[in-house]
Structure 1
């Protein structure tokens, strides 16, 4: 007898805590896909609550609301099977679970076996692990189920194969970083080739605070070939039909983005979802004529549209004329209004008030930082009055070594480039200009400067960014020591200087706003170092 099975992959953007809203979306999609011939619809890991719900899982009313909505999904499964990820409480233990509903009944539940507890993940804080294998007979097929981290180990996959599964289905909430899409595909392909099982891999999509979920769900045949590929950084629902009489065809495969395009789209999605999900009316940022603020502005306009983005140029006596010109040019290219407010009067007033305390003391970074703090006051005032969130514009290289001003250019609600090293900033700006030229070429080509002192350049205080980024990647992302970095060819004096800057600025980074994670290790949950620590002092 010929078997057929039509599975709908619902790659959707969930809102954490909106249990009722998420459920309603599932009910709508299930009905729509049933009308289009689907036998089974898949929703992602913890889709009911959104991922990650964090300490909401400790609230009794959170559990109660989940239970009510699971009953609605069960009732809706009369004519289409529904698989949904959700938290499940049993015997005073909480599990990361999936439920298989069919014909108004709970057919089976599966509890996640492998709980990630590294980097951005804290699942052992909330969940208990299980060890039961889940294979469900449905429409003549034996469907094996896993949840996200399970598939990063051979044992759960092998157990599915041993129980006679025909298809392996994995629901996920797998966050993005620059390396992750390739790593995932390589892993899944190896499982297919090892077990000869086709794999249906469903990921969620969307921004959640600093996390970005890139979608990119896919279906592999038993040879490890991708037969279906859903869009990256966009919602999509796609049906995949299994049929004994014909192999899985390649259908409706989404365009696979280049690595630099993936990073750009990740940042766009991060801003869009953070602003819209938190119901901010728009954003505001300081436009300096430099590349960091220029890229931030471009991303913000792409994410939100020009009407929700306000740019403010705040010149001082050290601001070059070309900076003002380039800021105006970019505003024209993006068709946004640019407000220009000089900080000179404000700065002079502060200095006059402080003069009794500063009398006879030579100028230093105090005066430079005061300029940045004047600009922060202006941005925060406009933010309060117009109810727009301030976007900060510092990149990862600067913030890592403390080349930012606390309560100055660090003041804001979302740090778009927080995890974007300076050299990647240049790449992203060049990439965006290949789509349409919205960043003046001179902004990309000129030497970076904070313009807080006459003739100032970033490289007066820092190594060249090409060198700095390489040292930072080794020290921060790869945990390399001084000796290892020197052995790799870096100057020892430079290495020790950079490491000292990284270590002594932990207190400053801890006060920065959150920002989207795009590298293997960011400065929020990935890297949790103590502020008060003598560990690295011998390296200075």
Structure 2
């Protein structure tokens, strides 16, 4: 029996539904492993279908086609290393989340996922049956245990694998990003290593799907919990690692340890990756956005340039009579610093025409929010016209603070196809802007240096829909608002929790009311990058009609 076992780890970017494309990536990884002398080439959870499939996996013609593609892969990869790949499995009438081992032209093992996550973005209980806890499978005489993703977050499956003869653990994952997730994975997997005494390889998917970002970050741990290999975050990579057998069992040879970025860099990279993948996987090449001279549209423009290149980004200033000269100058300076196209489309004439059209119906009423929102909706109309005419996806620019309390105009500035900053609170938007001005990375397609003018970051936020308007006229100051939102949304806390944290009870009650009455807007809003465990969409599902209020 060999004393060296080589595993090729393929941290690659699958696309949901692209069975042929995903199979081609698997073959390419297998060829790289074959050429490096690997014994096993491993791909992540549900790789053949892409992840997270949601209800698509329940469609019989789809999961049957995916299984057929795995069977074809077995034949294509018959001569060479074993190939491990995630995909659906059928046993009788039951559908499973499975991990296949292909060797010598056939499927030699099929592991079924036992623990099915049913929280945050996952609904696996309604998609799959729970498989029985299984023992290890053998590849070239080496017994390997593969707890699939959630199975490794519980003690029972890894311990059963160790007790039934597994010599190391290979954990295939489709684990999406949220802030601080990698450290949590490390902590849990060290616990599994300590409990079982076995080396462990944590192999994760990379790439974005709708709102979710799979951040890669594949790593390997030796007995005792020491980190032997750390693959990069947010980037595709293929690594060849060797396990050596000694008197006390297998150990993983120390390999490359990739840089672990801080949370600001991780958030920013996630937003860039999610937009880049959303565009590529939906077939769009170019974007446009309204560039107002404010901080939110500036950071979205910067994310777009870093994701797609300046030549693929159109920034449009749509000023009204309330747009300040500072905003005009700031927007133009930002577009110039980024190298993006800048178009100037005044809305005063169109707004006057709409106002005159509505005048007979509005006669006898006082101007107010309705008239202000006409400006926003006219901008949305013009931006969507440009999107239709030139085939450029419109990006929306509302931060999480605004999305939470409805400080945005439905069918106006909420119009668009994707929102990279949807899960980024306003106070953090400022931090991310400053981080990007001070840092540049190889994965950014935009220029180095101060791409967001300092005046955009420091001036008081304003929608500029009326004379001398500031956001603080309608909302608590953003540090207060975001603190309350963190408690009510991210922590599912109460008004009393807000008061205990030092916030005014009236402010907390008002913010809670705004959150609930804005549900219908969020229901119709564009998807956006998930950065936390309480992003608005699959993480937090509330009824649109809701008369309950916290009396605390």
TM-score tier (shorter): over 0.9
Deviations 1:225-257, CA, capped at 9 Å, x for gaps: 111111111100101100125953332222111
Match of 1:350 among 349, 354, 362: 354
1:328-347 paired onto structure 2 within 5 Å: 328-347=332-351
2:53 counterpart residue number: 53
Deviations 1:21-48, CA, capped at 9 Å, x for gaps: 1112211220121111111011111100
2:243 counterpart residue number: 242
> Which stretch shifts more, 231-240 or 182-191?
182-191
1:457 counterpart residue number: 470
Give the distance between the partners of 2:133 and 2:492, measured in 1 at CA: 37
Give the distance between the partners of 2:251 and 2:452, measured in 1 at CA: 47
Deviations 1:268-314, CA, capped at 9 Å, x for gaps: 00000001111113111000000000000000000000111111001
Give the distance between the partners of 1:134 and 1:267, measured in 2 at CA: 39
Residues 1:388 and 2:392 aligned together: yes
Q: Secondary structure at the residue paired with 2:147?
A: strand
1:3 counterpart residue number: 3
Give the distance between the partners of 1:71 and 1:106, measured in 2 at CA: 7
Deviations 1:140-162, CA, capped at 9 Å, x for gaps: 43211111011111111211121
Deviation at 1:347, TM superposition (A): 0.4
1:265 counterpart residue number: 269
Q: Secondary structure at the residue paired with 1:472?
A: helix
Give the distance between the partners of 1:197 and 1:363, measured in 2 at CA: 71
**TM-score of the two chains, using structure 1 as the length reference:** 0.98
1:116 counterpart residue number: 117
Residues 1:71 and 2:71 aligned together: yes
Cα RMSD (Å) of the superposition?
Answer: 1.3
2:101 counterpart residue number: 100
Q: Secondary structure at the residue paired with 1:497?
A: helix
Give the distance between the partners of 1:535 and 1:126, measured in 2 at CA: 31
Unaligned runs of 5+ in 1: none
Deviation at 1:510, TM superposition (A): 0.9
Deviations 1:117-146, CA, capped at 9 Å, x for gaps: 111101111100012223123334321111
Q: Secondary structure at the residue paired with 1:27?
A: helix
> Which stretch shifts more, 370-379 or 181-190?
181-190
2:442 counterpart residue number: none
Q: Is the 8 A contact 2:202 2:220 kept in 1?
A: yes
Q: Secondary structure at the residue paired with 2:395?
A: strand
1:83 counterpart residue number: 84
Residues 1:281 and 2:294 aligned together: no
1:479 counterpart residue number: 492
Give the distance between the partners of 2:65 and 2:390, measured in 1 at CA: 35
Q: Secondary structure at the residue paired with 1:224?
A: coil
Q: Is the 8 A contact 1:179 1:520 kept in 2?
A: no
> Which stretch shifts more, 58-67 or 86-95?
58-67
Deviation at 1:108, TM superposition (A): 1.1
Residues 1:28 and 2:35 aligned together: no
Unaligned runs of 5+ in 2: 440-448
Alpha-carbon distance change, 537 to 489 in structure 1, aligned in 2, over 3 angstroms? closer
Q: Is the 8 A contact 1:500 1:537 kept in 2?
A: no
Give the distance between the partners of 2:67 and 2:115, measured in 1 at CA: 24
2:513 counterpart residue number: 500
Deviation at 1:163, TM superposition (A): 1.2
Residues 1:371 and 2:375 aligned together: yes
Match of 1:444 among 450, 457, 470: 457
Give the distance between the partners of 1:477 and 1:151, measured in 2 at CA: 26
Give the distance between the partners of 1:434 and 1:337, measured in 2 at CA: 23
1:404 counterpart residue number: 408
Give the distance between the partners of 1:497 and 1:67, measured in 2 at CA: 52
Q: Is the 8 A contact 1:112 1:129 kept in 2?
A: yes
Q: Secondary structure at the residue paired with 2:385?
A: helix
**TM-score of the two chains, using structure 2 as the length reference:** 0.96
Deviations 1:177-213, CA, capped at 9 Å, x for gaps: 1131121111111221232211101000001011110
* Paired residue total: 539
